[in-house]
Amino acid sequence: MTRVKTAVLISGRGSNMMALLDAAKSPDHPAEITLVISNRPEALGLEKADARGIKAICIDHRDFDTRKDFEQELHAALIAHDIEFIACAGFMRVLTGGFVAKWEGRMINIHPSLLPKYKGLHTHARAIEAGDTEHGCSVHWVAEGVDTGAVIAQAKIEILPDDNPDTLAARILVQELDLYPAALAKAIRALS
């Protein structure tokens, strides 16, 4: 099996990234993760990837005057490392249409809500405030626009009466770590 050279884009602690790295250690997983890029130098995920022997670099968005300039550098780094597929995992930068067009059909993201509900931030608080009885996470293809694009896979849990945004986020994260590796494999297998 030819494995697809995959980069993971992060901004923070990198727990989803670690779940992807763990799963992709198996030669049966279709992703070969060869690169991690963070837009924030302080992202804990950079050290975690490095400790695993994965090339981990920072392209700090604050070093660029425009979003387009940042994305040009990001794209150049991906190409320089022969990357064929991108998994965004807690990557907190909105990508412009220009970048998305270059990677459309080869870039996925995980979002902590049952899309199309609750695009954007504070999804757990919004689900609780709305009185929802269930909440979840979605892995989706990246299209232009925040948290848009066809859904690949979702996981759902019950919202408990005494849940607050933190307890709900913690239970959703457990679901995310399970869902994302399988959804990445599914997305890559759908390419061929």
Task: For residue 123, give both structure tokens.
Answer: 């999804």
Residues, the chain, total?
Answer: 192
Euclidean distance between CA atoms 99 and 66, whole angstroms:
13
User: What minimum distance in Å lies between the beta carbon of 192 and ligand GRF?
Assistant: 27
Question: What angle do helix axes 15-24 and 165-189 make, rounded to 10 degrees?
Answer: 30
Task: For residue 56, give both structure tokens.
Answer: 């981990």
Please report whether residue 147 would count as binding ligand GRF according to CB under 6 A: no
Please indicate whether residue 111 is annotated as part of the active site: yes
The owner of tokens 């597929």 is 85
User: What minimum distance in Å lies between the beta carbon of 16 and ligand GRF?
Assistant: 3
Angle at 87 between CA 82 and CA 88, to 5 degrees: 120
Please report whether residue 6 would count as binding ligand GRF according to CB under 6 A: no
Chain residues 23-52 in contact with ligand GRF, contact rule CB under 6 A: 45
Binder to ligand GRF among 6, 8, 15, 20 (CB under 6 A)? Answer: 15
Please, which residues bridge with residue 56 across strands? 36
Burial class (CB in 10 A: 0-12, 13-18, 19+), 150: exposed
Binder to ligand GRF among 100, 110, 159, 188 (CB under 6 A)? Answer: 110
- Active-site hit among 111, 124, 135, 140: 111
Please report whether residue 89 would count as binding ligand GRF according to CB under 6 A: yes
Of the candidate spans 28-36, 58-66, 76-84, 110-118, the one that interacts with ligand GRF by CB under 6 A turns out to be 110-118
Site residue total, ligand GRF (CB under 6 A): 15
Residues 6 or more apart whose CB falls under 8 angstroms from that of 80 comprise none
Please report whether residue 173 would count as binding ligand GRF according to CB under 6 A: yes
Applying CB under 6 A, which residues contact ligand GRF?
Answer: 10, 12-17, 45, 89-90, 110-112, 173, 176
Name the residues annotated as catalytic.
111
